[in-house]
Amino acid sequence: MARKTPVLKVTNLKKAFGPVVIVDGFNLEVAPGEAVALTGRNGAGKSTVLRCLVGADRPDDGTVEVNGVPVSETNPQIRRDVATVIDDLDFFPDLSVVEHLDLLARAHGIPDADDAVDEVLQEVQLVPQSGQLPGTLSSGQRRRLALATAFIRPRKLLILDEPEQRLDTEGVEWLAARLVAERARGLAIVMASHEPMLVERVATRIVRLGDRAEVLADE
């Protein structure tokens, strides 16, 4: 069977911080409907790989392409196609939970923004906090809001860095089910995770990374 055209193509990615090489020659292709879980011990380079994938860090060498377009953090096409939840959970300090989702949905041109916001708010169980400002949310609620911002907008590729962090057990269960549903709808997912249940349920491929993001196993 012919392999689908990859949504994400990473070729020979290299990244160093000063003399310390973090990623050395990382390659990856992710097709639509595929969910790749990056696993490995702390410091293996998972987060650095993900930051290069979304354009938050510039690779020293190698290429990252999403649907054939080289990744740049400022490219609107990439911003349209790639939804990310990586470590920096940034919010407007003066906008409430519901206003963040509303703004994002409208910025992406969602026609029934109000309905979409209500649905996503219910799903992430933040309805009681809809008027709260982000500075007063608990860390778990902030994580739910960050995940909601990824689900309220159109996307072809979802990049998540330890999305289970700070979520309660019920939250991790919900996240796993949600990501399985996303995958089933043809979305490509790349996530780094230390949660075996999430990896087992969501991932179609598990890429185990060693030092310098060397691929030890791709199964």
Binding test (CB under 8 A) with other proteins, winner from 107, 177, 181, 197: 107
Instruction: Using CB under 8 A, pick the residue from 3, 19, 131, 219 that binds other proteins.
Output: 131
Measure the CA–CA gap between 148 and 165, rounded to whole angstroms: 15
Backbone angles phi, psi at 185, to 5 degrees: -85, 5
* 67 belongs to the binding site for other proteins (CB under 8 A): no
Q: Report if residue 215 touches other proteins, rule: CB under 8 A.
A: no
Site for other proteins in 153-192 (CB under 8 A): 153
149 binds other proteins (CB under 8 A): yes
146, 70 in Cβ contact below 8 A?
no
The count of chain residues that interact with other proteins, using the rule CB under 8 A, is 48
Q: Which residues contact 71 (CB under 8 A, 6 or more apart)?
A: 52, 53, 54, 55, 64, 65, 78, 82
Binds other proteins (CB under 8 A): choice among 16, 56, 180, 206: 56
> Which residue number, 97 or 198, has a Cβ lying nearer to other proteins?
97
Edge-to-edge strand list for the sheet holding 35-39: 82-85, 157-161, 188-192, 35-39, 205-209, 215-218
Q: Please choose, out of 98-106, 168-176, 192-200, 206-214, the segment that lies near other proteins by the rule CB under 8 A.
A: 98-106
**The only residue of 31, 133, 180, 215 in contact with other proteins, by rule CB under 8 A:** 133
Query: Nearest 5°: phi and psi at 197?
Result: -60, -45
Judged by beta carbon, residue 41 or residue 58, the one nearer other proteins is 58
- Please say whether the beta carbons of 81 and 150 come within 8 A: no
Using alpha carbons, select from 124, 150, 174 the residue that is nearest to residue 54. Answer: 150
Residue 211 burial (C-beta neighbours within 10 Å; 0-12, 13-18, 19+): middle
**CB nearer other proteins, residue 84 or residue 193:** 84
Binding status of residue 119 toward other proteins by CB under 8 A: no
Q: Is position 68 an interface residue for other proteins (rule: CB under 8 A)?
A: no
Kindly state the smallest distance separating residue 15's Cβ from other proteins, in Å.
14
Residue 84, both tokens: 């990310």
CA 71, CA 28: separation in Å to the nearest integer?
14
Binding site for other proteins (CB under 8 A): 54-56, 58, 63, 70, 72-76, 79-80, 82-84, 86, 88-99, 102-104, 106-111, 113-114, 130-133, 135-136, 149, 153
